[in-house]
Amino acid sequence: MRNNANEPRNADDDPLRMKIFQADPVLNYSIPELPVEVEVKFTRNFSLLEGEKILLHKGSKRAESIPCSLVLPNLPVLSAQFSLTNYRVVIEPNDNQWSYQNKVRPQLFDIPLLLMQRVEKTVDKSNTILDISTKDGRYLRAVISNTIQSEFNVFPTLYSGAFPQNPINRFAFSHTFCGQVDGWKLYNPQNDYARLGVNPNKPDCRWRFLDNSTGEYCETYPEILVVPNDLPLMTIKTCASFRSKNRLPVLVWCNTRRSATLWRCSQPKTGIRTSRCVEDEEYLRRLAQSSQRDPMLHIFDARPFVNAHAQRALGGGVENVNHYENTELHFLNIENIHCIRESWISMMVGINNASNTKYLSAVEKSGWLEHLSLLLQGACGVVESLQNGISCLIHCSDGWDRTSQLCSLVQICMDSHYRSLRGFAQVIEKDWVSFGHQFEVRLAHANPNLQDDKRSPIFIQFLDCVYQMTLQFPTHFEFNSLLLHDLALFAYSGRFGTFMGNCARDRVNLNLTGKTVSIWSYVFENLDSYACPYYQAGQDDPIVPIFSIRKLCIWHDLFSQWCGDFYYVVPQLLGPDDHKEALMRSTGEGIQLYKALIMQKDQEMKEYKRQIAELKEKIAQI
Question: Does the annotation flag 402 for ligand binding?
Answer: yes
Q: Which helix (H) or strand (E) holds 142?
A: strand 139-145
Question: Does the annotation flag 398 for ligand binding?
Answer: yes
How far, in Å, CA of 367 to CA of 364, rounded? 6
Whether the per-residue pLDDT at 44 is higher than 50: the answer is no
pLDDT at 292: 73
579-598 CB burial, b ≥16 within 10 A, e <16: ebeeeeeeeeeeeeeeeeee
Terminal CA-CA length for the chain? 113
Cα→Cα distances 243→214, 301, 399, 442, 443, Å: 19, 14, 10, 22, 25
224-228/2-3 β-pairing: unpaired
pLDDT tens digits, residue range 423-472?
999 999 999 999 999 999 999 999 999 888 999 999 999 999 999 999 99
Close Cβ partners of 569 (under 8 Å, ≥ 6 residues apart): 102, 103, 104, 105
Work out the percent of the chain whose per-residue pLDDT is above 70.
85
Cα→Cα distances 24→1, 21, 82, 118, Å: 14, 7, 20, 19
How far, in Å, CA of 455 to CA of 502, rounded? 12
Instruction: Name beta bridge partners: 3.
Output: 121
pLDDT tens digits, residue range 349-401?
888 776 777 888 989 999 999 999 999 999 999 999 999 999 999 999 999 99
Question: CB pairs under 8 A, 24+ apart, for 18-23?
Answer: 18/73, 18/133, 18/139, 18/349, 18/352, 18/353, 19/353, 20/73, 20/139, 20/353, 21/71, 21/141
151-160, 499-508, 557-566, range with the lowest pLDDT: 557-566
pLDDT tens digits, residue range 524-549?
999 999 999 999 999 999 999 999 99
Is the backbone of residue 45 left (phi > 0), alpha (psi -120 to 50) or beta?
A: left
Instruction: Name beta bridge partners: 251.
Output: 263
pLDDT at 496: 98
Close Cβ partners of 285 (under 8 Å, ≥ 6 residues apart): 324, 325, 326
Whether the per-residue pLDDT at 78 is higher than 90: the answer is no
Burial of 13 (0-12, 13-18, 19+ CB in 10 A): middle
Q: How many of the other CB atoms lie within 10 Å of CB of 223? A: 16
Tallying the residues shown for the chain, one arrives at: 622
Of the candidates 181, 212, 210, 207, the residue with the CA atom closest to the CA atom of residue 194 = 207
Whether the per-residue pLDDT at 9 is higher than 70: the answer is no
Close Cβ partners of 184 (under 8 Å, ≥ 6 residues apart): 513, 518, 520, 521
Whether the per-residue pLDDT at 504 is higher than 50: the answer is yes
The amino acid present at 522, given as its one-letter code, is Y
pLDDT at 582: 52
Handedness of CA 158, 161, 163, 166 (dihedral sign): positive
pLDDT tens digits, residue range 409-421?
999 999 999 999 9
Q: Is CATH 3.10.640.10 correct for 2-163?
A: no
Question: Does the annotation flag 396 for ligand binding?
Answer: yes
Question: Does the annotation flag 68 for ligand binding?
Answer: no
Cβ–Cβ under 8 Å, residues 227 and 261: no
Q: How confident is the model at residue 22 (pLDDT cuts 50, 70, 90)?
A: very low
Q: Which runs of consecutive H residues, i.e. helices, occur in 356-420?
A: 359-366, 368-387, 402-414
Question: Does the annotation flag 207 for ligand binding?
Answer: no
Mean of all residue pLDDT scores within the chain: 87
Q: How confident is the model at residue 95 (pLDDT cuts 50, 70, 90)?
A: low
Close Cβ partners of 586 (under 8 Å, ≥ 6 residues apart): none
Question: Does the annotation flag 400 for ligand binding?
Answer: yes
Cβ–Cβ under 8 Å, residues 211 and 189: no
Mean pLDDT, range 241-248, rounded to an integer: 98
Q: How confident is the model at residue 487 (pLDDT cuts 50, 70, 90)?
A: very high
Question: Does the annotation flag 401 for ligand binding?
Answer: yes
Q: How many of the other CB atoms lie within 10 Å of CB of 407? A: 26
pLDDT tens digits, residue range 309-328?
999 999 999 999 999 999 99
Whether the per-residue pLDDT at 19 is higher than 80: the answer is no
Question: φ and ψ at 2, to 5 degrees?
Answer: -120, 140
How far, in Å, CA of 103 to CA of 93, rounded? 12
Active site residues: 396
Tell me, what DSSP letter sits at residue 531?
B
